[in-house]
Structure 1
Amino acid sequence: MEQDDTLLSTKLLSRRWNIAPRTLERWRAEGRGPQFVRIGRHVRYRQTDIQAFEAKHIKTAGPVPTLAVVERAA
Structure 2
Amino acid sequence: MDKLLTLQQLAELLGVPEATVYQWRSKGYGPRGLRVGKHVRYRPADVEKWLTSLAHEVA
TM-score, length of structure 1 as denominator length: 0.70
Q: Residue 53 of structure 1 corresponds to which residue in structure 2? A: 50
1:38 to 35, 38, 53: 35
**Aligned twin of 2:24:** 27
Q: What TM-score, normalized by structure 2, do the two folds share?
A: 0.86
Amino acid at match of 1:34: P
- Shift of residue 39, structure 1, vs aligned partner: 0.8
Greater Rg over alpha carbons, structure = 1
Q: CA deviation at 1:45?
A: 0.4
Q: Secondary structure at the match of 1:14?
A: helix
CA RMSD of aligned residues (A): 1.3
Structure 1 ranges of 4+ moved more than 2 A: none
Q: Which runs of 5 or more residues in structure 2 are unaligned?
A: none
Q: Distance in 2 between matches of 1:46 and 1:32?
A: 15
- 1:11 and 2:13 matched: no
Q: Separation in 2 of the partners of 1:50 and 1:18?
A: 13
